[in-house]
Amino acid sequence: MFVIAMLLFSHSGFGQDRDKQLAKADQSFEALAYINARDIYLDVAKQGFSSYDLYRKLADSYYFTGELEESVAWYEKLISTFSEEVKPEYLFRYAQSLKSAERYGDADAIMERFDAVTGNDKRAKSFIDKRDYLDFIEKQSGKYDLYTLNINSEYSDYAPSFNHKGEIVFASSRSKNSKVHEWNKMPFLDLFSSAIKEDNVSTEEPKKLKGKINTKFHESSTSFTKDGNTAYFTRNNFTNNKLGKSRKGVVLLKLYKATFDNNRWSDVIELPFNSDNYSISHPALSPDGKQLYFASDMKGTRGKSDLFVVDILPGGKYGKPRNLGDDINTEARETFPYISDTGRLYFASDGHVGLGGLDVFVAIAKEDGSYEVFNVGKPINSPKDDFSFVLNEENKTGYFASNRKGGKGNDDIYSFRQTEELITSCKEYLEGVITDSETNEPLANVDVSLIDMDGNIVNNIKSDYDGSYIFEVDCDKQYIIRASIEGFNPNDIIFRSKASYETTNKVPIAFKREELLSTTSEPVNIGDDIVAPLQLRTIFFDLDTDEIRPDAIADLQKVIAVMKQNPNLKIEVRSHTDSRSSYWYNKRLSVKRMRATVRYIIRNGGINWRRIRGKAYGERRLINKCANGVPCTEKEHQENRRSEFIVRE
């Protein structure tokens, strides 16, 4: 009994001690002191304790300090042990961590699961829409030459920016500062400058910026006006020598502005849209200096941090910050914006589909104000965190930071020279060989037209000596490919491109020689239907609609071609419905179908309206048994929903 009592007492004492340890660790975790919290969590885990909270916080302690590979084992324990309790966000973080370990197949499987449980998460949708993301990144890759820099230290060096005075300015924790940040146990960051050498990629020994711009707390990520005399920069919430904290007791980030005078930085002021309760960081000025982009988790943020823009007004005033919207921002992190001189927005994200951790992306503005986002590929991006990208578009050189393997410190700065243009629009290629359908011999010098679904000729070429042809086409778009030989009906093929960048689609054309309908060489009688001579398919309509179907457009284009080649030819369009619905409803519907057909030929073919007219018969001229009350299949009913083309005087 005494022994049992001692064991019970000992077990109870251990439990109380563990609870104290966990409470202390949780306090550190909530204060973002992840390494302190992790040491305690690891000690508790070694003692054999397991719980949902322990595993998720251990995994997150690595994830939030950029050590994604190390987080994999703990996310695996979390998801395998507590599968029913796991929130979707941990599936996403697990997938990102797997990518960091270059386990892309496993990561994709987890993203499939993430999509299944979230339904409308933008990150999941982006993955589903871009399942071939590795193929695209491979096509995008190899467009930069990378160089290592001698300015890197054994600590953390990142956030390079151009000060427009022949130098880059960057953040580094190399300072002889006894204070270390609890987040990653690194000394606090200061700002340094380094002159760019004549090759535009290497740099000289760095110097710490002078003046009041550096403090005993963090300073990082800068952006300069074109004269180099005004700097916007990130700093811990430290204003007028007072350290500010959020309601949760955490020191967050704010944006400040400083002025360069007498070789020193002074007049440091806090920007008015900062707050103690959310972070604003990583400034980027527009080329004209009238807008300031930044990252923040302020109200309206979709994820961990979003990109925003604010107008810089006269008199030191600012407009209201605006979120850049769903084209840019996801439920994860968008950060470190940079605006090039041509207005391209570069930024880092782990929400858009990439190689793992933060990847660098470029956003291209469209005419309607929306953006299209592209991964810039390897070697800028890697399975680790790659961020703070800046580019001099004039000489195609720039800098970025990464914590990839092989670096000197925690984060390192790399320089690069861009050697090729990025893929920044979705283009595909359409190619094939035109052969004679009877002899299989290639046909040279055939007119080949690429026509959009409105009937506009996008491009027109002739087949090569070997019968080959090639077009560049937009992604996810339907076209008509028309092969034409004089004296014969054109051969049309309907083709839809994919949404797959830089893909080549093979479309061979076996040209069928059918003599062209002619009012001069071959008699055409008044009242003849030209469907048979032109080898047209019947122009069908879907149930209860007057919309021209895509499979009918190619045949309507044939009608247009024949009317152009026979300027005296006049036709009457006769439209019909099936027997379902009321007589008068079908009459009105057939009028709409007739008008749609006539309108298409006139507008898209440029045919004079006097040469074409129409009649609407409703259900009066059925071509099969499917009258009211007669059971018929959908295919049989469809035979009656048609338009005819009758030669008239």
pLDDT digits over 220-261, tens only?
999 999 999 999 999 999 888 889 998 888 889 999 999 999
Average pLDDT, the chain: 88
Contact yes or no for 583/618 (Cβ under 8 A): yes
Q: How far apart are CA 93 and CA 292, in angstroms?
A: 30
CA distance 24 to 11: 20
Nearest-angstrom CA–CA distance, 538 and 362: 47
If pLDDT is split at 50, 70 and 90, which confidence band does 183 have? Answer: low
Residue 273 dihedral angles phi and psi, to the nearest 5°: -95, 10
Q: How confident is the model at residue 8 (pLDDT cuts 50, 70, 90)?
A: very low
Instruction: Categorize the per-residue pLDDT at 7 as very low, low, confident or very high, splitting at 50, 70 and 90.
Output: very low
224 to 164, 373, 560: CA distances (angstroms):
7, 25, 60
Give 507-520 as a 3 state SS string.
CCEEECCCECCCCC
Per-residue model confidence (pLDDT) at position 179: 57
Over residues 43-51, the mean pLDDT reads 89
Place of tokens 């990109």: 307
What is the separation of C-alpha 544 from the centre of its chain, rounded to a whole number of angstroms?
A: 37
Q: State the average pLDDT over residues 619-642.
A: 87
Do the beta carbons of residue 344 and residue 293 sit within 8 Å? no
Neighbours of 21 (CB within 10 A): 16
Q: What percent of the chain has pLDDT over 90?
A: 55
**Helix H segments across 82-131?**
88-100, 104-118, 122-129
CB atoms closer than 10 angstroms to residue 262: 8
Tokens of 202: 């290497």
- Class for domain 427-511, per CATH? mainly beta
CA distance 306 to 332: 8
Determine the pLDDT at residue 535. 62
Q: What is the CATH number of domain 539-648?
A: 3.30.1330.60
**Distance between the two ends of the chain, CA-based, in angstroms?**
117
CATH T-level topology, domain 154-349 = Neuraminidase (2.120.10)
Is residue 594 within 8 A of residue 616, CB to CB? The reply is: yes
- pLDDT digits 0-9 by tens, 280-310: 999 999 999 999 999 999 999 999 999 999 9
Coil, helix or strand for 225?
Answer: coil
CATH 2.120.10.30 residue ranges for the chain: 154-349
Half-sphere exposure of residue 274: CA atoms within 13 angstroms, side-chain side: 27
- Give the integer Cα–Cα distance in Å for 62 and 357: 12
Question: Using one digit for the tens of pLDDT, what is the confidence trace for 126-177?
Answer: 888 777 889 889 999 999 999 999 999 999 999 999 999 999 999 999 876 5
Q: pLDDT exceeding 70 applies to what percent of the chain?
A: 92
Average pLDDT over residues 185-189: 76
- Eight-class DSSP state of 206: -
Predicted local distance difference test score (pLDDT) of residue 2: 38
Please tell me which of 126-130, 175-179, 483-487, 547-551 the model is most confident about, judged by mean pLDDT.
Answer: 483-487
Q: What residue type is 392 in one-letter code?
A: N
- Sign of the dihedral defined by the CA atoms of residues 174, 179, 185, 189, in that order: negative
Residues of the chain with CATH 2.60.40.10: 427-511
pLDDT tens digits along 401-453? 999 999 998 899 999 999 999 999 888 999 999 999 999 999 999 999 998 88
Question: Which of 183-192, 296-305, 578-587 has the lowest average pLDDT?
Answer: 183-192
At residue 177, the pLDDT reads 58
Rg (CA), the chain: 34
> Which architecture, in CATH terms, is 22-131?
Alpha Horseshoe (1.25)
Conformation bin of residue 402: beta by default, left when phi > 0, alpha when psi is -120 to 50 = beta
Residue 491: pLDDT above 50? Answer: yes
Residue range(s) occupied by CATH 3.30.1330.60 in the chain: 539-648
Q: How far is Cα 366 from Cα 440, in angstroms, rounded to an integer?
A: 45
User: Looking at residue 448, what is its pLDDT?
Assistant: 95
Q: At what angle do helices 68-81 and 88-100 cross, to 10 degrees?
A: 140
Higher local confidence (pLDDT), 577 or 334: 334
Q: What pLDDT shows up at residue 5?
A: 38
Q: What is the model's pLDDT at position 15?
A: 61
User: Which one-letter amino acid corresponds to residue 53?
Assistant: D
pLDDT(54) > 80: yes
**How far, in Å, CA of 350 to CA of 352, rounded?**
6
